[in-house]
Structure formats: structure tokens, C-alpha cells
Amino acid sequence: MLVPRVPRAIAAPRKRHFARTYVQVLAAMVLGAAIGYLYPETGQSLKPLGDAFIKVIKMIIAPVIFLTIATGIAGMSDLQKVGRVAAKAMVYFLTFSTLALVVGLIVANIVQPGAGLNIDPASLDVEAVKGYVATAHEQSVTSFLMNIIPSTIASAFAEGDILQVLFFSVLFGIALAMTGETSRPVVTFLQALTAPIFKLVGILMKAAPIGAFGAMAFTIGKYGIGSVANLAILVATFYLTAFLFVFGVLGVVCRCNGFSIFSLVRYIKDELLLVLATSSSEAALPSLMEKMEKAGAARSVVSLVIPTGYSFNLDGTNIYMTIAALFIAQATNTDLSIADQILLLLIAMLSSKGAAGVTGAGFITLAATLSVVPSVPVAGMALILGVDRFMSECRALTNLVGNAVASLVVARWEGELDQSRMEAAFRG
């Protein structure tokens, strides 16, 4: 007896390996590093490629934030939910930002990366960091809060300030929700506009390998791999601490909320490689928001948590600040008591918020912190200026993972996380 054959399901064609974005970015990084190492001048001349890509991505950030927030809030039937999500996000940010500072402080005390250098602060080049210190003095919590309010609606979008766009978008979304049926045509238009804007993000991301190639060639060509060797212990300590924080602390948080940090990191590998190449977490902001939505987090949560987290949830920057501050103290034989270190921690908590959103925020927040703590010489920042670029990559990577975790955790707390969609997305 013949058994009828059951036709096999036709699988969707799989992408060729090199067609995947992360493979292209990785290959571009390797090629860029080789060019920068073998031909330093040529590598430095390729800087415009990386700058142009980051500029192109920043161009689209403001519309993405505005559309996702405005439509997300307008779709909420309960406006109290907006305040609830924002409050939960801020509690999360404050808790884990502080924890990142504490972890950095503990590791720096155990490893003591600056011990034995015996550097005289008077011998350091103060002029090299003068500009950063001046910028730090201009930053304060009050000026930061005032800067959230844009001069005009147009200026927020023209300048591309994330917090200003966020501020207006939240208010506009609330206004749409309160207007009711009258605002329905506006909401429908904004929802229709969202699709082509995210399609544009996909088109622009095709240039990611070119941007990664230029940025990596410039970094290696200008700073050289040899510049890391002199301060290898500091760089290694920072990377190790960030690794422990992500896969230890954030790993536990993920496990308690029903998913694995390893699955999440694998899911956002394209964004991580892009950040690694460009040293800019903003380059991955639009695609990260889109991926978190595809992973089952509600748009209303993602659109609030991730843009806000880019200014308030800087885990990598906080780890960097305490490790760098203690490295300078140890290298210059500056004795810090427990009370001094607690003061350093408290000031870092405030300064990290005051300089949020400023270009080069990591180095500037460190300058702001050391300017207030009289024990540690600000001139000591000249010691780490040469390797700051290499540490900025790790800062950006840690910040990105921290915000991805925050969006899923806050969505789950709010009952707005589709677990089955998340698991399907993580499986690819």
C-alpha cells in the first residue's frame, strides 16, 4: 500500500551569511582597523565616513522619538499610565545608576589599577583637559533642568536635543489624548507617517558598514593600539567591571523578569557592533527602539523608557566615573578615606545627571565630579585622555544594554510585555 507523501512546508529563504548586517559591520571594523594600523594617515583621513553616518542617524532620531511617543501616549486610554510608566522608569534608572557607581568603586578598590605609578600632579599637562573642565563648570542640575525646555518647538527638532524633543513629544501626546475624537485625524496621520520613517531608518542602516569602517580606521590611525598598552590595567579593569555588571547584575535582573541577558545581547548584536565601531550609542537609538517593540514591549513604554534612559540610565558612564576617579587618586598617591569615597559617589550621582546629553558626557561628568572633590587633582585627567576613546566604546555598549534591559523590565512591570513575542524574537 502506498502512503501518500505529505508536502513539506516551504521554509522562508534564509539570508546569506554576509548579507547579515552584523557580519558586514564586523568585516568593516576589521578592515578599518587594518587600514588605521598599517596606514595611520589614511585611517585618519577616513574620519568623515564615520562622522557622516552618525550625522545621518542623528537626523532621524528626533522624528522617531516624536512619532513613537506622541502616538503611544495618544493611544493610552488612561493618562495616569504615562506618569506611572515614567515613575517606574525613573526608579529603575536611579537604582541601577547608583549600583553601577558602587560596583565601580568596589572593583577599583580591589584591583587598584593606578597603584605604583607614583605620578606628580604638577608634572601633568593641565591645558590638555582645560576645555573639559570649563564645560563641566557650565553644567549644573539647575541648568540641565532648564535646558530640557526648548526655546521654541522648532529649535528642539533643529538642534536634535533628545530631552527637548522628549519633553515636547510627551506634552503633545498628552494633549492628543485629552482632545479625544477631535484629534483622531491627527493621530491617524502620525501613525501613517511612522511606517515610512521606520522604513527610512532601515534604508539608512544599510550604510552602517561604511560608517563603521571610517570610524574604526580613524580611531586606530589617530590613537594607535599602542596608546592602550601604557594604561592597559585601567582599560582592562573598566571592561571587566562593565562585563561583570552586564552579565552579573543585569543578568540577575533579566532572569528575575523571565528572560536571559545572553538572549537579549544576541538579539541586539547589530546595534552593539555599530556602537562598538562608532563609539556612539545614539547611532543605534532608532533601530533599538524598533527592536524592543518587535520583542513584545509596548510602544508607549519603549518610546518613554529608551529616550529618557539615554540621559538618565548611563550605567557604563557611572562605572567609568568611579573607576577613573580612583585610578587618578591611586596614580597620584592621593589618599582617599571612606568618607571621601562616599562623597565622591554622591557627587558623581548628581553630576552624571547634570551633564546628561552633553557630547563627551563621560569625560565631562568626570571633570565635574573631580572639580567638586578637592582631594583628587583634576589635572590627573590628563593621564587617561589618551585612552578615553577606547573606554568610550565600552561606556556606550554598557549604556545600550542597560537601556534595552530597562525597556523590557519596565514593560513587564506595567503588564505591557508580550512574553511569547519576546521569546520568538530572541529565537530569531
- 3-state SS class at 128: helix
Is residue 140 assigned to a domain?
A: yes
Q: What is the pLDDT of residue 392?
A: 80
Q: How far is CA 138 from the centre of its chain?
A: 23
Q: Which three cell numbers stand for residue 417?
A: 510585555
Is the pLDDT confidence value at 1 over 60? Answer: no
For the whole model, what pTM was predicted? 0.78
Across residues 208-225, what is the average pLDDT?
Answer: 80
Is the pLDDT confidence value at 12 over 70? Answer: no
CA-to-CA distance for 161 and 368, rounded, in angstroms? Answer: 21
Is the pLDDT confidence value at 248 over 90? Answer: yes
User: 2 falls in which pLDDT band (50, 70, 90)?
Assistant: very low
Is residue 95 assigned to a domain?
A: yes
User: 223 falls in which pLDDT band (50, 70, 90)?
Assistant: low
Is residue 14 assigned to a domain?
A: no
User: 359 falls in which pLDDT band (50, 70, 90)?
Assistant: very low
Q: Can you spell out the DSSP letters for 54-103?
A: HHHHHHHHHHHHHHHHHHHHHT-S-THHHHHHHHHHHHHHHHHHHHHHHH
Is residue 2 assigned to a domain?
A: no
On average, the pLDDT of the chain sits at 79
Which CATH number belongs to the domain containing residue 233 in this structure? 1.10.3860.10
Is residue 8 assigned to a domain?
A: no
Using the structure block, give the residue that is written with the C-alpha cell 605609578: 117
Q: Which three cell numbers stand for residue 103?
A: 560596583
Q: One-letter amino acid identity for 68?
A: T
Q: One-letter amino acid identity for 240?
A: L
Total domains present in the chain: 1
Q: What is the pLDDT of residue 411?
A: 92
Residue-range definition of the domain harbouring residue 392: 19-427
CA-to-CA distance for 103 and 250, rounded, in angstroms? Answer: 12
Q: What is the pLDDT of residue 352?
A: 64
Across residues 259-267, what is the average pLDDT?
Answer: 93
Q: Which three cell numbers stand for residue 315?
A: 550605567
Buried b (16+ CB within 10 A) or exposed e, 366-387: bbbbbebbeebbbbbbbbbeeb
Contact 422, 408 (CB under 8 A): yes
Is residue 368 assigned to a domain?
A: yes
Neighbours of 405 (CB within 10 A): 26
- Which comes out higher in pLDDT, residue 234 or 383? 234
**What pLDDT digit, counting tens, does each position of 298-322 carry?**
888 888 888 888 878 888 888 888 8
Is residue 9 assigned to a domain?
A: no
Q: What is the pLDDT of residue 356?
A: 47
Residues β-bridged to residue 297: 417
Is residue 11 assigned to a domain?
A: no
How many residues can be counted in the chain? 428
Q: What is the pLDDT of residue 11?
A: 46
**What pLDDT digit, counting tens, does each position of 125-182 carry?**
555 555 555 554 455 556 666 777 888 888 888 877 777 888 888 888 888 888 877 8
Q: What is the pLDDT of residue 251?
A: 94
Angle at 55 between CA 49 and CA 56, to 5 degrees: 90
